[in-house]
Structure formats: C-alpha cells, structure tokens
Chains A and B, each alone.
Chain A
Amino acid sequence: MIRLALAQMRRSLPRLVSAGIAILIGTAFVAATLVAGNVITRTSYDAIAASLADADLVVLAQQITADDVDTLRAADGVAAADGQLELWTEVRAGGERAYPRATVRASDPRLEAQELTAGAFPAASGEVALPEPLADRLEVGVGDTITVVRELWDEGGETSTDASEVVTVVGLTDDPSGAFAQSEGAVIADAEDATRWYAQDYGGAAPSYETAVVALSEGADVETVRAELAQALAPTVPDARVQTKQERAEDLTAQVTGDSDALTGIVLGFAAVALLVAALVVANTFQVLVAQRTRMLALLRCVGAEKGQIRRSVLVEATLLGLVSSAGGLAAGLLLAQGTLVVLGNANPDVPLPAAVPVTPAVVLVPLVVGTLVTLVAALAPARAATRVAPLEALRPADQPVGLRRAGRTRAVLSSLLVLGGVGLLALGVVVSGTEGGVMVGLPIGILGGTLSFIGVVVGAVLWIPRVVSLAGGLLASTGPSARLAAANTLRNPRRTSATSAALLIGVTLVAMMSTGAASARATLGNELASQFPVDVLVADPDISPDGPDDAEADLTPALLERLAGIDGVAATGATVTVTTAWADDAGDLGWLELRALAPDDATTLLRAPDHAAGLADDTVVVARDDAERSGVVDGDTLTLTVDGGEPVQRTAHVTDFPTGLVVTPATLAAMGVDLPANEAWLRLADDADAVVAMDDIQELLSEVPVQVMGAALERVAFEGIVDTLLAVVLGLLAAAVVIALIGVANTLSLSVIERRRESATLRAIGLTRGQLRASLAFEGSLIAGVGAVLGIVLGLAYGWTGAMTVMRALGAVSLEVPWRELVIALVVAVVAGLLASVLPARSAARTSPVEALAVE
C-alpha cells in the first residue's frame, strides 16, 4: 500500500502542497516556541550559575550567621566561604539617583561574580566599586564620590528619616554572565559598610544569610567536604542544606523559569490554535482527494483491495505528508529562532544569550510528532470515507454526483449542548466575578465556558455556516450572474465551505476577542485613571496662597502658559486658582476643603472626563462625590463657602465624580473676596501625542521655574503601552492561524476548480466569458472568507465583552468598546485575501477550454 500511497501522492502533489504549508507553519510555531522556552531556561541557568561564581558548594538555611560562616571557613578542605547578602541601596550623584543591588566584596576571587574593568575592589570603609552601566548613568568614574542614601524607620515603622553617607568610587565592574542582571550589576561595598547598611535596614541586626557560597582548597573532594560541612553546621544551623553549585543552579532555575514555562505554555496554546486550523485545511484537502479518486478507489476495490488497505493507503499518505511538512516546519522554526537570537544578541550585547539555539530531543521530537499526528488525525474521516467507496462505483458514469451525507442529528445536539452549557458558564463567570474577590473563581469558569461554547460553535459550523453563506450569497446575487454562480457554488459542498470558513472563523474570532478585550480594558482602566487623575498634567505653584508669603512671585504667568501650550503634544492649557475654604450647609459647618476656580469652558477642554464638571456655573459649586457622601450633601443643597478673611457666598451643590474637593467659577471666587494669581496650571495632552516626549519637554521648560509637575499622563501611557504591546504580541501569534486559514481558502478554491472542470467548460461553451468565470471565483473566495470573518468578528466581540466583564467588573463600571480599527482591518484582510486566494485557481479555471464540456470520460 505504500507504493500505492506514494504513487497517489505524486499525482496529487500540487494539491497537497498547501495542506503541507499549513502544517509547516503550525509546526514551525511549535518548534520556535519550544526553542524560545529553552533559551529562557538556559539564559536563566547561566545567570544563576554565574551568581554563584566559581563556588563549589552552596549552603542554604533560614538563617546563617557570621559565626556560621566562620565555621564554614574553618572546616577542612575549605579555601573560602562567604555569606550572600540581600541588600539594596539608593545611590545619588549630581541630580541622578538609582536603586541597585549591593553586595560585599568576596573574600576569595573565586567567589566574586563580577569582573573588575577599572580601578580596584573596595579595600576599606568608604570605598565602593560600581557596575559600569550604573557609573555611566550617574556620570561618575573612578575617584569620584557618590552618596549612599538609606531610609531609617523609627521603631513603630511610621516615620522615616534619610541617612546619607558619601563614598568614593574606587573601581568599575562588569557583570559578564548576568549574575545581577535585574539591576545591571551590583554595587560592591566593603564588609564594614555593608554590615552597617544591613543593620540600618533590619533594625540593628547583625548580617544573616540565607545562602553561603564555599570554595574548596586544591585537591579537596567535593563530597567529603559536603558531608563535613553538613556535620559542622548541624549544632547551630539544623536546617542547613549543602548543595553542589550545579544542584543549586538547577533548583533556582526551576523556580525562576516557572513563570517562563507558563509563558511558553500560553504561546503553545496559540500554536495549538494554528495547528487546529491547519488540521481543518488538511481534512478538507483529503476529503477532496478522496472524492476525486472515487473511481480509482472503486477500481482498486474491484480488483480485490480490502477496505483496510484503502484506509491504510490514505493514512500512509497523510503520515508522509505530516512527516515531511513537520520536518520542514521544524527547520523553519529553528531557523526563525536562530535568526531572532542573532538579531537580539546584536541589539542587546549586554544580555548573555547563547550563540546557537539549544536543540534538545524535545525540540526536535515534539513538533515532528505533533505535526504528523495532527495530519494523521485530520485524515481519519476522509480515510473512512474512502473505505465507503463501493466497487460498483467504478462502473458508474463519472460525473454522477457524490451523495452528500446530511450533517447528523448527533452533531446538532452536541453542538447545542456545548453552546448552551458554555454560554451558561460564561454568564455564571460574569456573575461570580462581580462578587467580592470573585475574579479568581469567575475567570476560570468563564474561560471554560468560552472554550466549550466555541467548540460547540465550530462543531456545529457545518449546520449553520451554509445558511449564513446562502444568506450572504443571496445579498450578493443581485449584482450579476458571476455572483449568482458563486453563491450557488459555495452551497454545493456545505461541509467543505463550512470547514474553510470555520478555519478562518477561529482565527478571526480570537483576533477580534483579543482586540475587543484590550480596547475595553484600555477604556475601563482609562476611566479609572481619569477619575483618579482628572487632568493629564498639573503644574502647581505652592507659594501662591492666601496665607503664603506676600512677596511670593507668581510663576504661572500667562506667558509661561502660552509657552507650555506651544509644546508639541500639548492640546490645551488653563490656569486655575486653588484655595482652602470652609464649607457649610444648612445643618452647620462641614470643615475645610480644597476649592478650585475653573472656567466652565476650560473644564470641558482640560478634564479627561468632562462630566466631572457637569453643572459648573456662576451660581453653583461642584462637589466631589466622596466629599459629598462623607458630609451628607446631595444635589441641590445650598452650601456656604468662606475663605479666611473673605466674604461668605452661597451656591447650589452639584455632586459629580470629580475626585476631590470643590470647584467653582472664577466669578464665584472673586465674590468670595479672593484675589490671587493662578497657582495651578492644567495641561491636556493631545490624544495622539507622544506623552513621554511631551512630558520631557514640559519638565525641561519648567526646570528653571520653582513649580511642581504632576499628572497621570505618564501612567496612562505606560499602561496603554503594556496593553498595546500585549495585544500586538497576541495578534502576531494569532496571525499564524489566520494565514493558515487563508491558505485553506485558496486550497478549497483550487480544489473546487479542479472538481468543476467540466462545469466551467460547459459555462464557457454556453457563453460565460473568462472574466465572468474569474469574477465568479473571486466572489466565491471573498464570500467564504467574508462570512468567516464577519461571524468571527461578531463572536469575538461577544467573547471579548464577556471576558472584559469577567475580568474587570471588580473595578467598577466596565466600558464595552468596539475596536473598529482592528475589526475593519480583520474584515478587509480576510476579504482581500479571499479575493487574492481566488487569483491562481481562477487562472487555471479560465484556461479550461469549452471543448472539455463535450469530452466524455
């Protein structure tokens, strides 16, 4: 049967190519992910091993005291032993500051993880060696001084004072193996200083270590010393464990890479999606191959082939295809990873990355086995169909239509159950996560519900996608005969059309879901930020206040505001006056609050959430909801506001979500008898502004002015950056699935073209022009792709919103956003790709001579 399978493969090679490419992309994805996971593990291991320097043994315990370290040093066969201090410190030089890790100079060069590049290691109190990147940042070199700042907490831990000491930089170091990669190297201090700093941090305690590293004397046996050390420490440190350096590094790596393993797992999840889509493409291909070979298969059955032999020939073919494609995918994945490694290595010379991808047996075997299995499993149903070919069919006329099985009732029931159950779980997830601390319970329920319902949707695809396609085709049909032909053709093989559409549906659903989720997260958290930080940037001049110094200079001049407004990215500026006011309602005094005077026009342009100043007018006062609720003030109450030494005024309260205090108009403030220059400037950044650049410019402009700059612009940017980066990564990962699905569309079309050769010829004979034939296939491609994309978008929106509700309900009101841009792009890409996918098949169809219609097989 292998010979038969090979012969058939040779005949069908062009038809197998796209299925092969689909598998190739999927397995390349798997291989690259596994390699990436390995690189992370290897890099972590190297860094951890490096932090242990050339130590031979590592001692671990809850608490190792300096005496215990001395015990270690005294033991036979030990050349040196050091405790590893967990110490962080703040350092300053000029206007710069940093918070690096700090360590003690090792007692033996073998235990020193960092290398000296200039000067010397510290030899006395008051000397330090700095990592080169840190020295660069602080703009200091050997011989310069820096200030070490430590926060000293009082006994209750309530208040702190800063203790600072000036130390001299005596050396510069490099951290070649990334031992202290988190802080770009560690400050090396003299033991005396380090001991004092430690005491300052830990309420006067003498240094104690969780880890001690040991270097052995020449010729000492590791295992002998290990046993001896364990014995020596037993009386004072009963929980001490002595490990070899390698054991320790492996342990730590496992801890550290736990996270990255989870990450690898998530990425593999996306790879699984890509492979699932590839499986649909493969199943489609084999289904068509079997249909095309019906006559030949029947002939084989006539001359004595058994059902098992027929099935095996299809499965052997699938296995070969899977093996070859997976091998290609493996090679592609490794190349991709290697390329990435080279690029990364060049871009970040400081990060110690391996030069070549670590190829383990798992990296090679997993993609091969998974890719081959997926192909094989996808071919099972077509293989079964092949065995159902009766010998009799060899004798039937060639173009007798192959009877289509009607999609089963079982499938409908299963699909409905999955969808209903899944939707139920989704709803439950949303409800549960709305309760206090329910997110951690609601989210898994929601994920389970989403997965089940989506499986239900895909399982039932063959039942309902044809209906949607027919509906969409009906709409298209009015545009002309080509569209009518296309619409009719898509319905001829509902199973194939559904599988093709569903493949795209999967990818697009996930893309739309992620985009929707991200947009909703951005909007929801953006609102959250807006209510905490009502303006993007706030510049305050604290010297200007009614009780401030009389000769205080007003710094926030209109000229300065104008210059601020001129900065690229600043959309609007406005000046406000903030004073402290007493407020009272009919029932009596309510205490003191911050009161801002703001023109209603400025409020709308400057506030992130303009409804924060809703109702602001000359006869009203806006009250922050928190303050109003605390004081029992409601909308419509009459409030009396009095500034020290001013006139009391009465205004009507309007409670809004403004975060704090009161807001009135400048006219009201004047009526209160306050006559102050502006002491706050509010800046609104343009929505498309680069906030980092704008903030830098603002800081620079204000560097000479004694004012404070605050605001949420940077937080917002940082946050949106995280969401956008995550989204970009996820969409990139999902792109593989979409690309495979589009290959599937091209595949389906070209298979259809081959199947419909005679029909195309007939149509050409009775007057279909080549252009109309091409147009008809273009319509067909975009119809299949468009339906998959539109349904995917609808489903993705639903899932994205549900997900956003589940995750973020705890934060308050969730804004459900529609990421129009992403959705439109997804739709356009799908439809255009559907059109493009039709180009090659259409060319081959248009080449069909009308004479073929007359041919008789």
Chain B
Amino acid sequence: MTFTASPTPSPLPGPTGAPRPAVHARGLTKVYGSGASAVEALVDADIDFAAGEFTAIMGPSGSGKSTLMHLLAGLDSATRGRALIGDVDITGLDDRSLTRLRRDRVGFVFQSFNLLPMFTAEQNIVLPLDLAGRELDRDWFDTLVSTLALTDRLDHRPSELSGGQQQRVAIARALIAKPDVVFADEPTGNLDSRSGAQVLSFLRRSVRELGRTVIMVTHDPSAAAYADRVVLIADGRIAGEITDPTPEAVLAGLDALRSFDEVAVR
C-alpha cells in the first residue's frame, strides 16, 4: 500500500508509450454559476484510469467527487479542460454523440439501482443492447448471469428482487455491452452491509476475471477498500491516492486530508 499526497499524472501517452488509459482527464474544471456566486466544483483535475483497473473516488460530501464522475461519464459538460474515454474527447460532443457513446462504451451502476420496474431482470440486463439495436452475445450474457448469481432470478421483476439482487442486475446491465468503463455511484449506499459486500466483490470480480474497468464513487472507506486504487478528492481538487487500499488506510488518508485542510485553513 502506498499513499501519495499529490499524485503526478503521467504525461499523455505518446505513440510509443504505455498502453492508453481507459479514461483520463486533463485540466478538467467545472464552475457552477458565474461572477461572485460562482462555485468551483472541480478545479484542474488531471487523472488517469487504467484499463482493467478498479478505482474508487473518495471524498467528503461536496468535495467534487460526483462532479468528477459526471464529467468523466459525459453526463455533464465541463467548463474547461478535457475528458477522454479511450481516445474520444467527450468534452466536445453533442448530445446525440454523447448518448451513443454512453450506450456503446459506458456502463452505469446507480445508488438506487434504477431498474425499470415494468421489465424483468433479463429484459433490464439486455436493455442497452436493445436500445442500440445490437445483437446479444449469449455467451457473455451467460457468463455475466452466472458470475452475478442471477440465473434463477431472470424472470423476476425488480419489485420481486432484494436490494442486493437488484444491484447485481444493474451491474449485469452495466456490463452487457462490454463497455470501456463502468461508473458506479455509491453502489452500496442503499444496501445492508452483507449485500453491499457481495456487490463489491462482484464488481471486483468483473474487473479481475472479466477484464472490465470500474470507477466507483463512494464515501464508505470499507467499500473503497475493495478497489485497486483510491483517489481522494477534497474541495474540488485531487488530493491524493492510495494503491492497494485497506479500510484503515483509507480512513487514515481521509483523516490526513482533513488535517491537511485544517492546516490549510489555518
């Protein structure tokens, strides 16, 4: 486990450089409002997310971690800077292209699951392919369903599933289109600790065994500990990162941030 207080991002990979990161941002800035009432939600974020990595973004409420995720996922437009998924700069895309990009290359897992109540688990899982008009890869579907232990739940509607089951369906939905990256927003926020732990280990398995890339926003240190790497954010700035985290290390990192803040304020 290592803790770096201010990470130095690698320069943009050149033609002969290391493998391209799945997602990366340079000088990404979001300012809400203007003039005196302007609020800087995110300032000059430079960050890389390697393919096949499980990253947690952590920080206190209002630190800018959600804003960072919205910008990276193309859900919100940046005030300045660039965000790239693969080699596509998403900051310049119009709504239609962004929608396509999300459909084909990004998966989402939400805190409140957000399954469509009128569809069965299976219909929910294949929905992204349905919307794109793409063929279902049966093998991949079976792999996902068995990995997520959903085989005997496919005909159930969301109202007939437990929270943990619903979130597993949501994970399968996020992965079905084999996206470049999956964004998970507090995926355990609405779950009891046992279901939460299950969901997190599924997310980790999907990275380790299925080779996907996951970026998770959370404020729960024990959830963050499932990740390969934890990025800490405070006051709209990237404040540090922890590789191979443990809950204790994450807590320590957060405490460090807090004292760092206090020092800064003083």
**A binding-site residues for B, Cβ under 8 Å:** 397, 399, 401, 480-481, 484, 488-489, 491-492, 758-759, 762-770, 772, 849-851, 853-854, 856
Contacts and interface: CB of A to CB of B under 8 A. Distances in A.
B164 to A, nearest CB: 15
Given A488-B118, A851-B75, A770 B173 contact: no
Range of interface residues on B (Cβ < 8 Å): 20 to 34
A766 B103 contact: yes
A772 B66 contact: no
Nearest to A758: B114
B102 A850 contact: yes
24 contacts: A397-B112, A397-B190, A401-B117, A480-B133, A481-B131, A492-B118, A759-B114, A759-B117, A762-B110, A762-B116, A763-B127, A765-B108, A766-B107, A766-B108, A766-B131, A767-B100, A767-B132, A849-B75, A849-B76, A851-B70, A854-B66, A854-B70, A854-B110, A856-B189
Contacts of A768: 99, 103, 131
Interface in B152-193: 159, 173-174, 185-186, 189-190
B119 interface: yes
Interface in B51-75: 66, 70, 75
Contact of B102 (A480, A489, A766): A766
B116 A765 contact: no
Contact of B99 (A489, A764, A853, A854): A764
A853 B116 contact: no
Nearest to A762: B114
B227 to A, nearest CB: 19
A850 B74 CA distance: 10
A769 B99 contact: yes
Contacts of B108: 762, 765-766, 853
Nearest to A759: B116
Given A488-B118, A853-B114, A854-B66, A766 B173 contact: yes
Nearest to B98: A850
Contacts of B128: 766-767
B266 interface: no
B131 A854 contact: no
B235 interface: no
A401 B166 CA distance: 14
Nearest to B185: A854
Contact of A770 (B99, B117, B174, B185): B99
B95 interface: yes
Nearest to A480: B133
Contacts of B107: 766
A772 B110 CA distance: 22
B128 to A, nearest CB: 5
A851 B72 CA distance: 12
A45 B111 CA distance: 75
Contacts of B116: 488, 759, 762-763
B104 interface: yes
Contact of B110 (A767, A770, A853): A853
A545 B66 CA distance: 106
B151 to A, nearest CB: 23
Contact of B75 (A480, A758, A850): A850
Interface string B89-103: 000000110011011
A759 B118 CA distance: 11
Contacts of A489: 118
Contact of A772 (B114, B131, B190): B131
A767 B104 contact: yes
A484 B75 contact: no
B110 to A, nearest CB: 6
A769 B112 contact: no
B130 interface: yes
Interface in B195-227: none
A851 B114 CA distance: 12
Give the top 4 A-B pairs by smallest Cβ distance, nearest first.
A767-B103, A488-B118, A762-B114, A481-B130
Contacts of B96: 769-770
A607 B133 CA distance: 60
Contacts of A770: 95-96, 99
Contacts of A851: 70, 75-76
Given A488-B119, A762-B116, A770-B95, A481 B110 contact: no
Contact of B133 (A397, A481, A849): A481
A854 B186 CA distance: 9
Contacts of A765: 75, 102, 108
A484 B133 CA distance: 12
Contacts of A491: 118
Contacts of A849: 75-76
Most buried by B among A397, A481, A492, A766: A766
Nearest to B177: A767
A856 B185 CA distance: 11
A851 B186 CA distance: 14
Given A762-B114, A763-B131, A768-B131, 17 more contacts: A401-B117, A484-B130, A491-B118, A492-B117, A758-B114, A762-B108, A765-B102, A766-B108, A766-B131, A766-B174, A767-B99, A767-B103, A768-B103, A770-B96, A770-B99, A854-B110, A856-B111
Nearest to A403: B159
Counting chain A CB atoms within 10 Å of each CB, the highest count among B66, B75, B95 belongs to B75
A221 to B, nearest CB: 84
Given A849-B75, A856-B111, A767 B118 contact: no
Contact of B131 (A397, A401, A767): A767
Contacts of A766: 102-103, 107-108, 127-128, 131, 173-174
Contacts of B104: 767
- From B70, B116, B173, name the one whose CB has the most chain A CB atoms within 10 angstroms: B116
B100 A854 contact: no
Contacts of B133: 480-481
A761 to B, nearest CB: 8
Contacts of A854: 66, 70, 75, 110-111, 185
Contact of A856 (B112, B117, B173): B112
A397 B70 CA distance: 23
Nearest to A768: B131
Contacts of A763: 116, 127, 131
Contacts of A397: 112, 190
Contacts of A492: 117-118
Contacts of A772: 131
Given A767-B99, A767-B128, A399 B75 contact: no
A767 B107 CA distance: 9
A10 to B, nearest CB: 28
A399 B190 CA distance: 12
A743 B110 CA distance: 36
A843 to B, nearest CB: 14
A775 to B, nearest CB: 12
A480 to B, nearest CB: 7
